[in-house]
C-alpha cells in the first residue's frame, strides 16, 4: 500500500474554477471524492454548482486551482475524451442518448473505444435493465423518459468504467421511475463500481448515499454520510424543507 492508494479512488481536491478562460469562478475550494462500493451524492440548492462540480471532475471546465486524481493518477490536465479512456463513465443530464439509433446501437457506440469483444458487457447491461433487451431494436428516441435514462446509463457502462458519474439521472421522470432507477444504481454500486451523482431530489438521493456533499455557492457546506446529513437539523432546515 503506497501513499497514493490511501486517498479516495476518485477525488477532485480543492477545485476552484469556472467556464471558459476568463469566466467567473463558480467553484470555490470544492472537494468531492468517491470510493469503490460507494454512492456519493452531490446535493444543494439551485445554482450551487452541483453539475459544475461534476463537470470539473470530468474535465469540462478549466480549473484554476486544485487537482483531480483517479486511482492515484493526476488527470487534471486530461480532456474529457482522454478521461473516458482512463476509465471515467459520464452520463450527461440531457442529450445523453443517440435518439435516432437503436438501443443496441447506442450500447455499441458506448463501447466504441473498446476493440475487444464486448458482448459480455452488453449482456450484463441487459441483465441490469431487462426492458432494454426487449426494446433493443427500437430507436432510443422512441422510449419513455425512464427507459432513455437506462439507455444512457447502459451506454456509459459499456466502456467498463472504473467510476460512474451521473448528472441528475432522475430529472424529469416520475417518482415511481425514480425509485426504480435508484434501485438500479444501488445494484451497480454493489458490484464495486464507485458511483457519483448529482441530484435534485435531495431527500431520496441522500437516503441511498454512502457519502453526501451539500454544496452552497460552489463550496462544500456540509459533508457526511447520507444518514448524517438527513439527520442534521441545519441541512434539513435549509435544503430538505424541515
Q: Is 118 in the site for another protein (CB under 8 A)?
A: no
Side-chain half-sphere of 125: how many Cα atoms within 13 Å?
Answer: 31
Q: Is 169 in the site for another protein (CB under 8 A)?
A: no
Kind plus residue range of the DSSP H or E element containing 109: helix 103-110
Per-residue contact string for residues 26-65; x = within reach of another protein by CB under 8 A? ----------------------------------------
Side-chain half-sphere of 51: how many Cα atoms within 13 Å?
Answer: 12
Name which of 156 and 181 has its Cβ closer to another protein: 156
Q: Is 137 in the site for another protein (CB under 8 A)?
A: no
Per-residue contact string for residues 93-112; x = within reach of another protein by CB under 8 A? --xxxxxxx---x--xxx-x
Name which of 40 and 151 has its Cβ closer to another protein: 151
The C-alpha cell 431527500 sits at: 203
* Minimum CB distance to another protein, residue 104 (Å): 10
* Minimum CB distance to another protein, residue 96 (Å): 6
Per-residue contact string for residues 63-82; x = within reach of another protein by CB under 8 A? -----------------xx-
The span from the CA of 149 to the CA of 141, in Å, is 11
Evaluate whether 26 touches 47 at the Cβ level (below 8 Å): no
Name which of 9 and 90 has its Cβ closer to another protein: 90
Report the side by side order of strands in the sheet with 73-74: 27-34, 10-18, 62-70, 73-74
Phi/psi for 137 (5° steps) reads -100, 10
Q: Which listed residue (32, 43, 75, 90) binds another protein by CB under 8 A? A: 90
Q: Which listed residue (8, 18, 44, 92) binds another protein by CB under 8 A? A: 92
Q: Is 161 in the site for another protein (CB under 8 A)?
A: no
DSSP per-residue codes, 30-87: EEEEE-TT-EEEEE-STTSSHHHHHHHHHTSSEEEEEEEEETTEE-TT--HHHHHHHT
Name which of 43 and 151 has its Cβ closer to another protein: 151
Amino acid at each position: 500500500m503506497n501513499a497514493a492508494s490511501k486517498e479516495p479512488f476518485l477525488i477532485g481536491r480543492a477545485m476552484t474554477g469556472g467556464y471558459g478562460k476568463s469566466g467567473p469562478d463558480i467553484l470555490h475550494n470544492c472537494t468531492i471524492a468517491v470510493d469503490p462500493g460507494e454512492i456519493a451524492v452531490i446535493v444543494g440548492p439551485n445554482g450551487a454548482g452541483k453539475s459544475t462540480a461534476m463537470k470539473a471532475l470530468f474535465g469540462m471546465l478549466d480549473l484554476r486551482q486544485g487537482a483531480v486524481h483517479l486511482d492515484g493518477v493526476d488527470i487534471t490536465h486530461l480532456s474529457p475524451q482522454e478521461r473516458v479512456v482512463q476509465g471515467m463513465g459520464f452520463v450527461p443530464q440531457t442529450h445523453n442518448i443517440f435518439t435516432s439509433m437503436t438501443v443496441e446501437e447506442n450500447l455499441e457506440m458506448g463501447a466504441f473505444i473498446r476493440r475487444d469483444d464486448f458482448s459480455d458487457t452488453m449482456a450484463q447491461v441487459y441483465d441490469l435493465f431487462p426492458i432494454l433487451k426487449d426494446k433493443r431494436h427500437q430507436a432510443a428516441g422512441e422510449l419513455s423518459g425512464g427507459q432513455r435514462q437506462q439507455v444512457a446509463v447502459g451506454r456509459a457502462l459499456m466502456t467498463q468504467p472504473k467510476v460512474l458519474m451521473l448528472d441528475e439521472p432522475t430529472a424529469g421522470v416520475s417518482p415511481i421511475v425514480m425509485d426504480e432507477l435508484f434501485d438500479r444504481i444501488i445494484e451497480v454500486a454493489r458490484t464495486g463500481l464507485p458511483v457519483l451523482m448529482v441530484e435534485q431530489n435531495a431527500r431520496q438521493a441522500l437516503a441511498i448515499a454512502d457519502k453526501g456533499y451539500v454544496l452552497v455557492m460552489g463550496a462544500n457546506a456540509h459533508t457526511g454520510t447520507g444518514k448524517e446529513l438527513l439527520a442534521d437539523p441545519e441541512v434539513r432546515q435549509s435544503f430538505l424543507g424541515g
